[in-house]
Amino acid sequence: MVAQRPTIRPGDPLSAVDSPALLVDLAAFDRNIATMAAFARDRGIRLRAHGKSHKCGAIARLQQAAGAIGLCCQKVSEAEAFIAAGVTDVLVSNEVIDNAKLRRLAHLAGQARIGICVDSLLGLERLAEAAQEAEAPIDVYVEIDVGATRCGVQSDAEALILIERIAAHSRLRYAGIQAYQGQAQHLRQPAQRQAAIDVAIRRVTALRDALSRQQTAIGIVTGAGTGTFYLEAASGVYDEIQPGSYIFMDRDYRDNHWAAEAPRFEHSLTLLTTVISARREYVVVDAGHKAHAIDSGMPAVFGRPDLTYGNPSDEHGVIHCADGGALPELGDRLQLIPGHCDPTVNLHDWLIAHRDGAVVDVWAVEARGALS
């Protein structure tokens, strides 16, 4: 449909960028990409970077070039966008139940390695039908609930039934287990996250043992986000990690406390905003709900810990200053560290990559709005 177009070009000064706009600090971003790639390489674990965080073909290609085995994403339409952008291995780390969507997924299997999760017989049978029709090979991961109480089967028995059923369909290949503990990612204390992942590990181990008694290999165990990936990687049970937010680091991840062994990532994503109204007690900036997501709390102000953003409305936010500090002035620009990067990026058509005060690239967010 209609979409906004960037007026900014590589080589322009950062000061020429119109606000609100999402900026990516390439120095920090490149270090984040390299840190995670080195971690996976050193641990001998597969990195399947989560594309739901960025929805951007250029970033997916950078992750693949740095050694990621492929991408994962949550929607068939995201997989379509990533494959169009040149990604060669995509796992839809989510359930799909709609026949039309499953046909689109099967169609993709002619262009790239495709995987998907199942947690129901209905979903599995519909997937098999679509794969048969398209004569397309699809990797199937059985999702198990490892404590997040969202998707995934609850018992080993249910998982075993699904795994057995997969074998009955010639176009489907049982690939392994999706064991992602989303609720653990933002538990603030390292020990809390460790306890949650310990539960996940016990759950996977029990299933592995049950499968082993049937002379069946569990295959690839995949899961883990930016808050816990170093725990899954150390478990000896997971083969693949799925972090996404590490490339950007949002305020919610910043608020986690980190264990000594956890690799550190830097804020690279900020929302540029301008002061459009000012009075003695506060100033008003031009970024509200339509420019950033507050489901995980308010953004922080980059480089200005004395400023707080609050009272957000659709197109405005209000900035207060701690006692003694100076408020920004009318026309001044600030950078906000989004509360939650994934749904914030989904509000923008492009990301402005910058270095040393200049625009280096304008990356399309090809899968923005890819909901289906």
* DSSP conformation letters of 94-106: EE---HHHHHHHH
Residue 19 DSSP code: S
Mask 177-196, x = binds a second copy (CB under 8 A)? -----x--------------
Q: Is 98 in the site for a second copy (CB under 8 A)?
A: yes
Between 35 and 120, CB nearer to a second copy: 120
Q: Is 213 in the site for a second copy (CB under 8 A)?
A: no
β-strand partners of 22? 271
What pairs with residue 117 in β-bridges?
A: 95, 141
Q: How distant, in Å, are the alpha carbons of 117, 125, 153, 215, 238 from that of 165?
A: 14, 9, 14, 16, 23
- Select from 44, 236, 314, 326 the one that contacts a second copy (CB under 8 A): 314
Q: Which of 184, 275, 307, 334 binds a second copy (CB under 8 A)?
A: 275
Which of 122, 168, 195, 206 touches a second copy by CB under 8 A?
A: 122
Q: Does 97 bind a second copy (CB under 8 A)?
A: yes
E-strand spans in the chain?
21-25, 46-50, 70-73, 89-95, 113-118, 138-143, 172-178, 220-223, 240-241, 269-278, 283-285, 300-301, 307-310, 317-321, 333-337, 350-355, 358-364
What are the distances in angstroms from CA 101 to CA 92, 111, 130?
12, 16, 9
> Does 103 sit near a second copy (CB under 8 A)?
no
Show the binding pattern over residues 325-354: x = contacts a second copy (CB under 8 A), - = does not. -----xx--------x-xx--xxxxx----
Near a second copy in 240-269, by CB under 8 A? none
Under the rule (CB under 8 A), what is the footprint of a second copy? 1-6, 18-21, 52, 74-75, 77, 81, 94-98, 100-101, 119-120, 122-123, 149-152, 154, 182, 274-279, 284, 289-291, 293-295, 311-316, 318, 330-331, 340, 342-343, 346-350, 364-366, 368-372
